[in-house]
Amino acid sequence: MGQKANPIGNRLGIIRGWESNWYGNKKDFANKLIEDNKIRTYLNARINKGGIAKIVIERTLGKLIITIHTSKPGIIIGKGGGEVDRVKEELKKLTGKDDVQINILEIRRPELDAMIVGDTIARQIENRINFKRATKMAIASALRMGAEGIKVQLSGRLGGAEIARSEKFMQGRVPLHTFRMDIDYANVFAQTVYGKIGIKVWICRGEVLAKRDLNPNIIGGQERGEMGGRRDNRGDFGDRRRDDRGDRRGGGGDRRGGGGRQGGQGGGRR
């Protein structure tokens, strides 16, 4: 089951909240759903290089609140906030609503967001960087930032080959069946000269044991602090290992020095 279902949809209502928060009755539910899709498609195309991870849409009476989670807020805000105002006016025309509010939230650790990681790999592949190198760099940076595991699958004409194939890269653990595991998932495309390459990214960000607020606009929380603590402990062990290794190397150096002295004395006696 864990292999077949989308990891985000699988965890909705357990450790993850919905990205569209509104109520729709039988008459207007379909229209609101189509409007949400239009808004997301438009924003992703309009702010192509803005590092958008997700777009949360909330509706109250006559008001539309759009929250953009991004790793590059400066690109979206623009000089003096001019770019945001232009996007707001365009969204008013698109939706036909007078009251549109745009909030921008910065993602502090983009290496742990599946959408941004997948987008980074896709942009590198489009710029003719070797797909293996791009993927391994993304995996290394995610693990360095505290991810428990990461899995990346690429499909298509990899490296410009004649026959399409799939390649999977994985490090750490990504338990898809465990619902309390915070697993982020994204499916991204890279449009290359020789065809489209699909990129799937799964990132395991640790276990959620406490009750979590399902509001998707809340960034951080206790879980992130716990992950950070684990990473610090690992760093302490690493320092201890390095110190021990240094002591051993120092001892070896003394022995080598002793050997050199003995050799010199022997040569003098001869």
Q: What is the pLDDT of residues 104-150, one digit of tens each?
A: 998 889 999 999 999 999 999 999 999 999 999 999 999 999 999 99
Residue 49: per-residue pLDDT: 79
The terminus-to-terminus CA distance of the chain in angstroms comes to: 80
pLDDT band per the 50, 70, 90 thresholds, residue 260: very low
With b for 16 or more beta-carbon neighbours within 10 A and e for fewer, the 123-160 pattern comes to: ebbeeeeebeebbeebbebbbebbbbbbbbbbebbbee
Mean pLDDT of the region 24-49? 90
Q: CA-to-CA distance for 152 and 132, rounded, in angstroms? A: 11
pLDDT for residue 235? 41
Residue 263 in this model has a pLDDT that exceeds 60: no
Estimate the crossing angle of helix 131-144 against helix 114-126, to 10 degrees: 150
Q: Which tokens sit at 129?
A: 């960087």
Tokens of 93: 């025309």
Q: Rounded mean pLDDT of the chain? A: 81
Q: Which amino acid is present at 4?
A: K
Share above pLDDT 70 across residues of the chain, in percent, rounded to a whole number: 80
Q: Closest by alpha carbon to 141, among 55, 52, 71? A: 71
Tell me the per-residue pLDDT of 142-199, one tens digit each, with 9 for 90 and over: 999 999 999 999 999 999 999 999 999 999 999 999 999 999 999 999 999 999 999 9
Tell me the C-alpha distance between 155 and 118, whole Å. Answer: 13
